[in-house]
Amino acid sequence: MERHMRPARAALFAMLAATLVVLGPWIGWWPLAPLGVGVAGFLIADRVMPKSSRPEYCIMAAWAVAQLMIGMSVVFTGGPRSLFLPWLAIPAATLSARFNTRGVIAGVVWTVAIMIAASVGVNPTVIADSPQRLLVPLTLLVGVTLLTTALMHSDVKHRAAATIDPLTGLFNRQSLTLRAAELIEQARVTQTPMALMIGDLDHFKEVNDRHGHLVGDDVLREIANILRTTLRTFDYIYRYGGEEFVILLPGTGEATAVATAKRLRAAVAGSQPAGLDMTMSFGVSVSNCQETTLDDLLVAADRALYDAKADGRDRVRVGHALEAIPLKTP
């Protein structure tokens, strides 16, 4: 999310800087210094986040510092009389896009504390005589936060409806393309492999024919849960269509990918979803860290899957992207 917000963030800081330059003859040039500190905080966070296990903490710290710098500008330009007091509501518009509910609440509390300290703390008499000087920025802060949070929740809900398979709760085929492109590019830049596997339930059509589609749906839900709980937390699983699942394994070479596929195959074979004996065949492919595309990986894994089916099912087979692999029809 932060990567997508950087252009807007840069534009906002540029606009604030331009405004301070225009107002310089009246208020002085020194408010540019706190703005510079705020910019520096985000630049540091951008450098630290890729190496951090909790990147959201880095961006929260940068956001909190930026609010503090605005508060300092308010204090030194008149406190409750400052033109900059309402500016504290502007960064609040980004809270719901960056953080969960607790983060939003923490951000609002931090901003309210800065507003009160920069106004009441500097000149309580002015606020006592003109409480609107504080109430208006507080109302603006709460209103902006409520509206942006509602919009973000609505966006997330509709996005989830478009990318989540309603039966299994897994990501669907539509969301595979974007994530795979990001992971493949990351693998190319870092020169690390990435594996893709396709898993297909064996004889699933017979389940629907003999036991009905409701039982078939139960089987798919339980299989999805088995796959999800067997994989690592940073692996990605998608329902590709029907009884077929695609799994992306970042930073994974061929040996580890095959071992993972065998572990998934064994988990499915020993699970009895919906009380039925089920098996699953897997085709595995691995990127070459260079010009491999998602289509290359899918074709190689799909051909390997056909090999697994042709060899008797309940198998794991490996295909290699960009190599000609004979296609066998079971």
Residue 314 neighbours by CB distance under 10 Å? 17
Residue 212's DSSP bridge partners are: none
**φ/ψ (deg, to 5) at 160:** -65, -40
The DSSP element (H or E) to which 171 belongs, if any, is strand 171-172
Angle between helices 55-75 and 101-119 in degrees, nearest 10: 20
User: What is the Cα gyration radius of the chain?
Assistant: 27
Give the rounded distance of the alpha carbon of 215 from its chain centre: 33
Q: What is the dihedral of CA 250, 253, 255, 260, to 10 degrees?
A: 10
d(CA 79, CA 120) in angstroms, rounded, equals: 8
From 2, 56, 185, 243, the catalytic residue? 243
Could you confirm whether 254 is annotated as catalytic?
Answer: no
Q: How many CA atoms lie within 13 A of 224 on its CB side?
A: 24
CA distance 67 to 296: 47
Residue holding tokens 């870092």? Answer: 190
DSSP state of 257: H
* Cα–Cα distance measured from residue 158 to residue 151, given in angstroms and rounded to the nearest whole number: 11
Q: Pull the structure tokens for residue 283.
A: 């085709």
Task: List, in order, residues 6 or more apart from 160 with CB less than 8 Å away.
Answer: none
Quick one: CA dihedral 130, 136, 141, 145, positive or negative? positive
Q: Residue 182: CB partners within 8 Å, gap ≥ 6?
A: none
Residues marked active site are found at: 243
